[in-house]
């Protein structure tokens, strides 16, 4: 257990529905990342935050996806009008900005299945 | 074009032997490299990080980095059945926050 928590751990939804995932970082980690992993592939970067500021978004993050980190603590990732291609594991990772530590620590992930 | 390449395996190694996992990368700007282990259905777990050319050892694990050849490797000595997992290689650029992952190598340790 890295100390990064994600909820829910599993989500099954019907195509067209909206879903929201939450990530709670390690308390002193001010950088927070979202990745998506499909079967047989490595995680792919989606977006990241420095405190509450969203500093980079991947081209993978279509306009149906939105991420927030309103108070620089927990973050949410929302997918609107879900499609079957959105089925994947959504991973949150965090790291501190001080001390030269570059390692990103992953939460347990949220597995999404869109029917 | 993928930026980080790994042999997807599966790689089968007898228990007690050395497992050798390899990774190449195309972006010469990549500065930092990480090996993560991922058990089926679980999230990635950090095994090793390496930032400088040469070897870095931690217990049964040794990471090797050769920036001139754009090559990273992970050696696992005295392989155990519990080492059976998918091993993900990842790199990041200086000042670029995102990790770029390979597709992972599936390792099976045969008792």
- pLDDT tens-digit map of B48-107: 999 999 999 999 999 999 999 999 999 999 999 999 999 999 998 766 678 999 999 999
Beta bridge partners of residue A23, listed in sequence order: A6, A75
Binning pLDDT at 50, 70 and 90, where does residue B9 land? confident
Confidence (pLDDT) at A60: 82
Beta-sheet strands, E only, within chain B: 4-6, 11-14, 19-25, 30-38, 45-50, 54-58, 61-66, 71-76, 85-93, 100-101, 105-110
**Interface contact A43-B45, CB threshold 8 A:** no
Q: Average model confidence (pLDDT) for chain A?
A: 93
The values of phi and psi at residue A10, to 5°, are: -140, 145
Contact across the interface for B103 and A58, Cβ inside 8 Å: no
The reported pLDDT for the residue numbered B12 is 96
Closest CA to B47 of B88, B10, B9: B88
Which of B33, B65, B97 should be substituted to probe chain A, the one whose Cβ sees the most A Cβ atoms within 10 Å?
A: B97
Nearest-Cα distance to chain B for A67, in Å, is 16
Nearest-by-CA chain B residue for A111: B41
Q: Report pLDDT for B95.
A: 62
pLDDT above 60 (res B2): no
Provide the sign of the torsion angle of the four alpha carbons A97, A100, A102, A105, taken in this order: negative
- Can you give the three-state secondary structure of B58-83, one letter per residue? ECCEEEEEECCCCEEEEEECCCCHHH
Which of A17 and B7 is assigned the larger pLDDT?
A17
| pLDDT value for B94 | 67
Q: Is A84 on the interface with B (CB under 8 A)?
A: no
pLDDT at res. B91: 92
Q: For B97, which residue in chain A has the nearest alpha carbon?
A: A48
Do A42 and B43 count as a contact with CB atoms less than 8 A apart? Answer: no
pLDDT category, B1, cuts 50, 70, 90?
A: low
- The tens digit of pLDDT for each residue in B10-63 reads 999 999 999 999 999 988 777 889 999 999 999 999 999 999 999 999 999 999
Residue with tokens 């500065």: B31
pLDDT digits (tens, 9 = 90+) for A51-107: 999 998 998 888 999 999 998 899 999 999 999 999 999 999 998 877 667 789 999
Average pLDDT over residues A5-20: 97
Tell me what pLDDT residue A1 has: 81
Tell if the CB–CB gap between A31 and B51 is shorter than 8 Å.
Answer: no
Nearest CA in chain A to B5: A42
Instruction: Give how far A55 is from chain B: nearest CA, Å.
Output: 9
Does A65 lie at the interface with B, CB-CB under 8 angstroms?
A: no
CA distance B104 to chain A (A): 6
Residue of chain B whose Cα is closest to the Cα of A102: B32
A51 in Cβ contact with A69 (< 8 Å): yes
More confident residue, A27 or B12: B12
Pick the more confident residue, A62 or A10: A10
**What is the spatial distance between Cα A58 and Cα A46, in angstroms, rounded to a whole number?**
5
């Amino acid at each position: 257990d890295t100390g990064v928590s994600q909820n829910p751990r599993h989500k099954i939804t019907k195509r067209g529905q909206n879903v929201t995932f939450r990530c709670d970082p390690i308390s002193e980690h001010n950088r927070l990342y979202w990745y998506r992993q499909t079967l047989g592939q490595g995680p792919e970067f989606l977006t990241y935050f420095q405190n509450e500021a969203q500093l980079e978004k991947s081209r993978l993050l279509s306009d149906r996806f939105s991420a927030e980190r309103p108070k620089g603590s927990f973050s949410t990732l929302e997918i609107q009008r879900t499609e079957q291609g959105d089925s994947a594991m959504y991973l949150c990772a965090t790291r501190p900005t001080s001390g030269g530590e570059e390692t990103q620590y992953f939460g347990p992930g949220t597995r999404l299945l869109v029917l | 074009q993928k930026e980080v390449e790994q042999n997807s395996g599966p790689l089968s190694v007898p228990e007690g032997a050395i497992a050798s996992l390899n990774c190449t990368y195309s972006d010469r700007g990549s500065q930092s490299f990480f090996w993560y282990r991922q058990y089926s259905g679980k999230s990635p777990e950090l095994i090793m990080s390496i930032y400088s050319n040469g070897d870095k050892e931690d217990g049964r694990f040794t990471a090797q980095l050769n920036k001139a050849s754009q090559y990273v490797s992970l050696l696992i000595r005295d392989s155990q059945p519990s080492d059976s997992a998918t091993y993900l290689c990842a790199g990041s650029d200086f000042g670029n926050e995102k990790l770029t992952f390979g597709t992972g190598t599936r390792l099976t340790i045969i008792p």
